[in-house]
Structure 1
Amino acid sequence: MNDETRQLIASYKIEGDIHLKNQEWGPARIAYEKALEEFDRIQSEEEFELVTADDKELRTQIEEALGQASFQLAQQHREWGLDALKSKDYARAVEEFEEAIDLAGEDNLPFLEEVKQLLDKARVKNRDHELYEELTPFVERGDDFRRAGNYAEAILEYQEALKAIAGLPPTHRFVSYLREALRECRRQLIKPYLVRIHRAIHAGKPAHAHNLLKRAMLLLDETDLVYRAFLTQIRDAIPVPPPAEVEEGEEVESPETWAKAIRDYEEALDLYSSFTLSDPLSPAYTGVNIYEDRFLSARRNLANLYKSRGDRFRDQLKLEKAIRSYKEALKLYPRSDRLFHETFREMKKLRAQLNQPSLPATAK
């Protein structure tokens, strides 16, 4: 090693020693690393053969000083990480603890174990915080719907939130909150069925009571043992078994009824769409489409057929088919029609049931 290189390395060491004495761990570490970089640079050069015992001793001193500065800096990052934890800045806490681990030497086992535990804690907190930010829109909408009594809509929001935390254990507070909220919403949807079941039994309509009970059972939360036992008692109290299910594809309305309804609607739509004020059948004193009543009547008739089909599939627990039929009915009903809103509510309930993982295979 020539004198110039030796002096440069010595100057870096002196600079590092000054920073180390002043407890400036970062600048000290930088200075020592520069000195070691000079040693590394000459390793591949012929001059390396001229490194003396004093030079090797100098390198050892620099490496020891670098280790001391690094450990002190690691302790500082640990303190910064603890401060970040207290201020709930979990992402920064993770970064600080990771930096502390990188800086600490492998020989500092007690320190490494302590910081690794802190890092695990910070990562869990940071994960929960990120999940909280992701879940909040769904949960807030679900809570708003629940307070407003729109339980089917609330269920859909809570289920979306659950999808985002599918990997969390069942005991996690986020999972517990959502499960409890879903259970409450499902119970609220079941309560009207209980009233209708009671009326059907006392009206001597056990078959209808069984159909209502099956629909109520679909809404049950899979972990709601209380309501499940209650509905089971009701089922056992109904005097007759449920009626045989209609075969798939069987229509109560005849094919001729469907064909006529579709034909009437298409003809009325064609007349309604092609009407102009110059129509020779139109009275000169009015601008009203003379085919409007015919069109509205044909459209409503076809919508009623789709709704009836949807109701039938719903009672047979064929939820996907019921939803498809309801969608067709909604395309035909005017938004101002009472049946539009009734159909829409039924479809929302079925969507909530369909998204429940414990549904039987017959639901599709």
Structure 2
Amino acid sequence: MNDESKQMIESYKADGDVSKENKEWGQAKIAYEKASEEFKRIESEDDYELITADDKVLKQSIERDLVEVNTQLAHAHLDWGTGAMKNKDYERAVDEFEEAMNLAAEDDVKLIDEVKCLLDKAKLKNRDHELHQELSPFVERGDDFRRAGNHAEAILEYQEALKTISGLPPEHRFVIYIRECLRECRRYLIKPYLGRVHRAVQMGHFTYANNTLKRALLLLDEKDIVYRAFFTQIRDSIVAKLPKSDSDDAEEIEAPETWATAINDYEKALDLYSSFTQNDPLSPAYSSANIYEDKFLTSRRNLANLYKARGDKYRDQAQIEKAIRSYREALKLYPRSDRLFHETFREMKKLRVQIVNPGAAAK
């Protein structure tokens, strides 16, 4: 190493020593790194001059100084990260702890373990903080709807909130809160169904009670074990009193996924349509139209199509009474202006004629 290069390196080291003495760890690190970079530059040259034993001693001294300074800086970032955690500035805490990890010496196991533990906590806190910010609009709207008694709209908001935290474990406090709110809203929605079921049972209308109870079950939270057990007990007592043909129909409706989806969509759309509140008439955005009307009509028509298709199947199998019952359900759902309403009505009329006059079908 020539004298000029050595003087430059010694100058950098001297600056670093002064900064280290004054506990200016950042400035000391910069100076020592400049000295180290100069050593690397000399070593990388194709025709670099041989480094003497004294030069090697100088290099080792700079490396030790750099390790010492990095350790001090690691502790400083550790302290800054801890302060950021206390101030709930989790994003900064993550940055500080990561920098401390980068600066810690590989053999400083105690420091590395301490920083790693705090870094993991900071990352979890930061993730929760970011999720909370993302969730808040949905949850706040859901809470407002729930307090106002608009439980169907609250359910939609809570379901959107759940989608954003689909990766969280079930025991996470965010998941627990949202699921509890959903359970509460769904229980409110099924209360009118329970009243109708009770009245139907008292009047001996077990088929109606059974169908109403099934619709209520579709609204119930899948994990609401208490209410599901209660509903199952009620349904068992009702099914035991059903005529055999009605019991068979009940099982058929429950089995296909298509039926469950169609009924569920219809019930949700009906609740939204019924709970819609118009805007302030004096507002510029005022509209007298129900914004859920299209969704409601579509879901109702889909369910009507299923009843009609089932009626057609029974008709083809010569199960006339079952076909008429299915057609009757379809007619309740089709608008009178719908072409399928009149088509279904004609089919049902033909079947009724066959019951009164069995020979009419052959004419």
* TM-score, length of structure 2 as denominator length: 0.70
Counterpart-to-counterpart distance in 1, 2:67 and 2:204 = 88
User: For 2:119 and 2:32, how far apart are their aligned partners in 1?
Assistant: 28
Cα distance in structure 2, aligned partners of 1:185 and 1:102: 49
The change in CA–CA distance for 1:228 and 1:46 in structure 2 (over 3 A counts) is closer
Distance in 2 between the 1:234 and 1:145 partners? 30
Q: How does 1:257-336 map to 2 (within 5 A)?
A: 317-319=260-262, 323=266
Q: What letter is aligned with 1:35?
A: A
Partner SS state of residue 171, structure 1: coil
- Unmatched tracts of structure 1, length 5 or more: 249-314, 351-364
Deviation, structure 1 residue 44: 2.4
Is the alpha carbon distance of 1:211 and 1:343 closer, same or farther for their aligned partners in structure 2, counting shifts above 3 Å? farther
Shift of 1:236: 2.0
AA aligned to 1:170 is P
Contact 1:2 1:47 in 2 (8 A): no
Task: Identify the residue that residue 312 of structure 1 maps to in structure 2.
Answer: none
Seen in structure 2, the aligned counterparts of structure 1 residues 160 and 318 have a Cα distance that, compared at 3 Å, is: closer
What residue is the counterpart of 1:74 in the other structure? 74
Cα 1:337–1:6 change in 2 (3 A) is closer
Query: In the alignment, which residue of structure 1 is the partner of 2:9?
Result: 9
- Residue of structure 1 in register with 2:193 after alignment: 193
Percent identity over the alignment is: 59
Q: Deviation digits for residues 166-213 of structure 1, max 9, x if unmatched? A: 111110000000111111111111111000001111122111000100
Task: After superposition, give the CA deviation of every residue in 1:149-169 in whole Å (9 maximum; x if it has no partner).
Answer: 111111111111111111111
| Deviates most, 77-86 or 230-239 | 230-239
* Structure 1 equivalent of residue 60 of structure 2: 60
> Gapped runs of 5+ residues in structure 2?
253-257, 274-286, 303-363
Matches within 5 A, 1:67-106: 67-106=67-106
User: Could you tell me how far apart the structure 1 residues matched to 2:142 and 2:128 are?
Assistant: 19
In 2 relative to 1, CA 162–117 (structure 1 residues): closer, same or farther, beyond 3 Å? same
What is the deviation of 1:47? 5.5
Q: Secondary structure at the match of 1:221?
A: coil
Which residue matches 1:123? 123
Residue 43 of structure 1 corresponds to which residue in structure 2? Answer: 43
Whether 1:166 aligns to 2:166 is: yes
**CA deviation after TM superposition for structure 1 residue 48, in Å:** 3.3
Contact 1:152 1:185 in 2 (8 A): yes
Taking only aligned residues, the RMSD between alpha carbons, in angstroms, comes to 3.2
CA 1:9 to 1:181, structure 2 compared with 1: closer, same or farther past 3 Å? same
Q: SS in structure 2 opposite 1:168?
A: coil
Residue of structure 1 in register with 2:242 after alignment? 240
The residue type equivalent to 1:116 in the other structure is K
Q: Give, as a single letter, the amino acid of the residue that structure 2 aligns with 1:71.
A: T
CA gap 1:162/1:9 in 2 versus in 1, 3 angstroms: same
2:74 counterpart letter in structure 1:
A
Give 1:59 shift.
0.3
What SS is found at the alignment partner of 1:158? helix
Q: Deviations over 1:80-136 (max 9, x none)?
A: 000000000000000000000001110111100100000000000000000000000
| Deviation per residue, 1:44-100 (Å, 9 max, x gap) | 225633311101100000000000001100100000000000000000000000000
Post-superposition Cα deviations, 1:218-271, rounded to whole Å, max 9, x if no partner, equal: 11111111111111121122221645549x9xxxxxxxxxxxxxxxxxxxxxxx
Larger mean Cα displacement after TM superposition, 59-68 or 41-50: 41-50
The answer to whether the 8 Å contact 1:20/1:28 transfers is: yes
Normalised TM-score (structure 1):
0.70
Structure-1 separation of matches of 2:32 and 2:289 = 81
Q: Distance in 1 between matches of 2:187 and 2:294?
A: 20
Q: Take 2:242 and 2:12, find their aligned partners in 1: how far apart are those partners? A: 95
One-letter code aligned to 1:14? A
Give the whole-Å Cα distance in 1 for the aligned partners of 2:116 and 2:288.
Answer: 63
Residue equivalent to 1:142? 142
* Aligned residue in 2 for 1:29: 29
Letter in 2 for 1:186: R
Which protein has greater RCO, CA pairs closer than 8 Å, 6+ apart? 1
Structure 1 residue identity aligned to 2:157: E
